[in-house]
Chain A
Amino acid sequence: MRSFLIDALLKGKATIAPPVAGTAALEEVTRALGERARQRLGRSLSIREIDAGSCNGCELEIHALNNPVYDVERFGLKFVASPRHADVLLVTGPVTWNMREALLRTYNAAPEPKWVVALGDCAANCGVFAGSSAVVGPLADILPVDLHVPGCPPAPIEIVKGLLALIEARPPAP
């Protein structure tokens, strides 16, 4: 164990400098703040991840957010086990008929105010699974989506930029 600590000291920190929030993400979140009179949630967000039909590629990259390189807890972004503790629902996959009910129940279990993020191309438009009879449709058909993070899967740095927009966006001037 000591070797890990010595190693960490010698090699310096692995964590990258914080990126700035994505421009497109900031615009989308700002729009959601205006149109839906959403309330800003402040600097610390608890995130509940929901796989609603993903191929697990998005999950791999969400996992990477917690590694020492991206380390999203330094921004106040924390993944939580229960939807009851969540401010943000981070949803992946083309929503399958078999997951629809579990998704809705998880959404309903999260307290207001809450944000929904559609992560990856499948959540945005069903990706390669569009047209399947086992798939309900894009997430926005089922839940009000505040932010899309495109990609198949989106790279962790893109996910970070998207999530930072949730923290940094300001309501548009009246």
Chain B
Amino acid sequence: MSAAGSLAELVVGHPAGADGYVRLDVDADVWTALAQGCAAGAHDLSALWADGGLDGGWMRMALCCEGLRAIVSLRTEAGAYPSVAAHHAPAMRLERAMRDLYGVRPAGLPDSRPWLDHGRWPGRQSDARYEFLTAEGEGLHQIAVGPVHAGIIEPGHFRFTANGETVVRLEERLGYVHKGVEGLLAGADISRGAAIVGRISGDSTVAYAWAFARAVEAALGWTVPQRAALLRGIMAELERLAHHINDVGAICNDASVLTINARCTLQREDVLAVVAACFGHRLMMDRIVPGGVAADLTADGAGRIRGLLARLEETRAEVLRVYDSMPSLQDRTITTGIASPALVRQYAAGGFVGRASGRVFDARKNFPYAPYDQLPFDLKTRTTSDVDARLLVRMDEIVESLKIVGLMLDRLAPGDIRNDGPAPAAGEGAALVEAFRGDVFMSVRIAADGRLAHVHARDASWFQWPLLEAAVEGNIVADFPLCNKSFNCSYSGHDL
């Protein structure tokens, strides 16, 4: 590989900003070499977005490798730039999305179809038919599912091509819940920005609010009291615990084991009730704000949370015992929906999807941020890459999260929970936060008047949705719900 494609060599002599990211302007050749570096596995593609409009705008790419993070920027020429996906497939949907939203033109992008633009936006209506990819062979039939699904879940379209019971190809079509988030954020003040970002994917509201807060704080040199950092960590782990235990139940429910699901949903409700009593909102929306947190832990909060931790451990252990004792359930999960380790590495898939396929990555560990930089905990991985592995990684992570919350409560000392903001100033900041389903990347550019000039949020789902298509291949149609639930990708977080 050429030297230009090596991130480590490129950033030599360029110090990282307060957020840990090295920022570099590059030319088209270096841009393409870095894209090839992604494809060669030299570094991971973390995000790719357009910023600054068509005239004199930028394409920006966040890259990371061992201990190193960078955001490289390429000035577009009247909106055109060399496609990253032409070399590195994981950039495909990112580039299609940016083309739809901003009109940028990735030269050489192999897929000419729109992605978020369904031909329904005012002034841009189109009746052009969306052409799904083809599958050839005898006896194939198609099954079209969605956007409105049978259960209480978000909308998206799945196009299965099947041979009898076996899925030959699955293609996703997403974008149904596109709400124009980046457009709303441009020009918003910081507090309105925090409220919007906290609703990009409601199930990860704590993680998103935290990522946004950290990016804004880095951009403005805004410090956070120690108590607030610990409270943020406690909230984030409680969010993770609620989803992990709930989704274990949901996976079992899709294999018709309703008793485990009932127990798990009961445990989730216990978490949310404690959270509501401690922080005043069941999902902890709007609790993390730039500069600190908006709600202090109530006086009896620490005791409530410790009681919850004990009950959660009891539930986890019991659910695991029952899961292990049911061969008929494991028959549905073991060897089902394998996400190949090679694809997981290529897509740099985060969260339990990555860790169940041997990818040792967790933003809390790889790019530690307060308070995780001071806490001992283990990163749990598995290698069998199937539904079972994804379920068990989450069970393992529950143990670690319980430990982390306990440690954070031990260290919680009285003090301020929010620092006042500095004077409005221009700045840039980025952050990577580990949400329950994987790393959320957030980049913020603030204008001189203190308003948000541009915000880009990249959900972990961007690099997990494509792997679901691959993981389902060769499985029976009836196992799709199990596979899908074991990924539990966000629609809203992806559709923006």
Q: How far is the CA of A80 from the CA of B324 in the complex (A)?
A: 31
Q: Is B201 an interface residue (CB 8 A)?
A: yes
The docked-state distance in angstroms from the alpha carbon of A4 to that of B260 is 8
**A66 touching B492, Cβ below 8 Å:** no
Q: Are A14 and B266 in contact (CB under 8 A)?
A: yes
Which stretch of B6-14, B102-110, B143-151, B355-363 is in the interface? Answer: B143-151
Residue from B118, B192, B260, B263 in contact with A98 in the complex, judged by beta carbons closer than 8 Å:
B118
A19 at the interface (CB under 8 A from B): no
User: Are A64 and B180 touching (Cβ within 8 A)?
Assistant: no
With known contacts A67-B262, A98-B176, A62–B152 Cβ distance under 8 A = yes
A51-B153, A99-B155 known; A128 and B199 CB under 8 Å?
yes
Chain B proximity mask over A11-54: 1 for CB below 8 Å, otherwise 0? 00010000000000000000000000000000000000111111
Known: A61-B282, A64-B265, A134-B178. A97 touches B492 (CB 8 A): no
- Closest beta carbon of chain A to B324's beta carbon, Å: 12
Partner of A54, one of B192, B195, B202, B259: B202
Interface residues in A76-128 by Cβ distance below 8 A to B read: 79, 81-83, 93-94, 96-102, 106, 127-128
In Å, the complex CA distance between A49 and B266 comes to 22
Report A-chain residues with C-beta under 8 Å of the C-beta of B175.
Answer: 98
B152 and A63 within 8 A (CB): yes
Check if B16 is an interface residue, CB within 8 A of chain A: no
Partner of B176, one of A69, A79, A99, A129: A99
Most buried by B among A56, A58, A79: A56
Is residue B237 within 8 Å, beta carbon to beta carbon, of the partner chain? no
> Which single residue of chain B is at the shortest CB-CB distance from A102?
B147
Chain A residues touching B, majority SS: mixed
Interface residues of B in 6-54 (CB under 8 A from A): none
A155 with B282: CB separation less than 8 A: yes
Q: Are A56 and B154 in contact (CB under 8 A)?
A: yes
* In the assembled complex, B285 has its CB within 8 A of some CB on chain A: yes
Residue of B180, B181, B490 most packed against chain A (CB within 10 A): B180
Q: Is the interface of B mostly helix, strand, loop or mixed?
A: loop
- With contact pairs A64-B269, A97-B120, A128-B199 given, residues A50 and B148 touching in the complex (Cβ less than 8 Å): yes
* Interface flag for B473 (CB, 8 Å): no
B residues less than 8 Å from A14 (CB atoms): 266
Chain A residue with Cβ nearest B276 = A155
Chain B residues with CB under 8 Å of A83's CB are 148
Cβ-based interface call for B87 (8 A): no
Cross-chain contact B120 with A55 (CB below 8 angstroms): no
- In the complex, the answer to whether A59 meets B152 with C-beta atoms within 8 Å is yes
- Report yes or no: A66 in contact with B202, Cβ–Cβ below 8 A: no
A127 to B142, CA, bound (A): 38
Complex Cα–Cα for A65 and B359 (A): 36
Which residues of B lie under 8 Å from residue A69 when comparing CB positions?
266, 269
How many angstroms between the C-alpha atoms of A54 and B200 in the bound complex? 9
Query: How many A-B contacts at CB < 8 Å in the complex?
Result: 146
Structural contact, A94 and B179, CB atoms closer than 8 A: yes
- Which single member of B151, B181, B183, B202 contacts A81 (CB below 8 Å)? B151
Q: Flag whether A174 is at the interface (Cβ < 8 A).
A: no
**Known pairs A54-B492, A153-B202; A98 contacts B120 (CB<8 A):** yes
How far apart are the CA atoms of A127 and B179 in the complex, in Å? 11
B259 touches A93 (CB 8 A): no
Contact of B203 with A60 in the complex, beta carbons under 8 Å: yes
Q: How far is the CA of A50 from the CA of B146 in the complex (A)?
A: 11
**B407 to chain A: closest CB distance in Å?**
27
**Which B306-363 residues have a C-beta within 8 angstroms of A?**
318, 321-322, 325-326
Q: B269 touching A67 by the CB < 8 A rule?
A: yes
Asked whether A10 is an interface residue with its Cβ less than 8 Å from the other chain, the reply is no
A53-B177 CB under 8 A given contacts A3-B318, A67-B265, A133-B183:
yes
Q: A50-B148, A57-B205, A100-B120 are in contact. Are A4 and B263 (CB under 8 A)?
A: yes
A125-148 vs B: 1/0 string, CB under 8 Å?
A: 001110111110000000000000
Decide if B447 is an interface residue (CB 8 Å cutoff): no
Chain B min CB distance to A16 (Å): 10
Residues of A within 8 A of B203 (CB): 56-57, 60
Q: Check if B86 is an interface residue, CB within 8 A of chain A.
A: no
Q: Which residue of A lies closest to B101 (CB)?
A: A134
Please tell me if the beta carbons of A96 and B177 are within 8 angstroms of each other in the complex.
yes
A68 within 8 A of B: yes
Chain B neighbourhood of A62, CB < 8 A: 152
Interfacial chain B residues near A49, Cβ < 8 Å: 152
**A69-B266, A99-B177 are contacts. A134–B152 as well, Cβ < 8 Å?**
no
Smallest Cβ-Cβ distance to B321: which chain A residue: A3
Chain A residue contacts of B150, Cβ below 8 A: 81-82
A155–B260 alpha-carbon span in the complex (Å): 24
Return the CB mask of B182-210 against A: 1 if under 8 Å, else 0. 01100000001001100111110100000
CA distance A58 to B175 in the complex (A): 19
* A55 with B201: CB separation less than 8 A: yes
With a cutoff of 8 Å between Cβ atoms, the chain B residues found around residue A134 in the complex are 121, 178-180, 183
On whether A67 and B268 interact (CB within 8 A), knowing A100-B120, A131-B184, the answer reads yes
Contact with A along B96-120 (1 / 0, CB 8 A): 0000000000000000000010101
Besides the known contacts A54-B154, A133-B180, 20 further A-B residue pairs in the complex with CB atoms under 8 A apart = A1-B326, A49-B152, A55-B201, A57-B199, A59-B154, A60-B203, A64-B265, A64-B268, A64-B272, A67-B265, A79-B151, A93-B177, A94-B179, A96-B177, A98-B175, A98-B176, A102-B155, A127-B199, A132-B181, A133-B183
**Top 6 A-B residue pairs of the complex, sorted by shortest distance between their CB atoms:** A57-B202, A134-B180, A81-B150, A67-B265, A132-B180, A55-B202
Show 19 A/B contacts (Cβ-Cβ < 8 Å), sorted by A: A14-B266, A50-B148, A53-B176, A53-B179, A54-B202, A54-B492, A55-B205, A56-B154, A56-B201, A60-B202, A83-B148, A93-B177, A98-B120, A102-B155, A102-B176, A128-B195, A132-B181, A134-B180, A153-B283
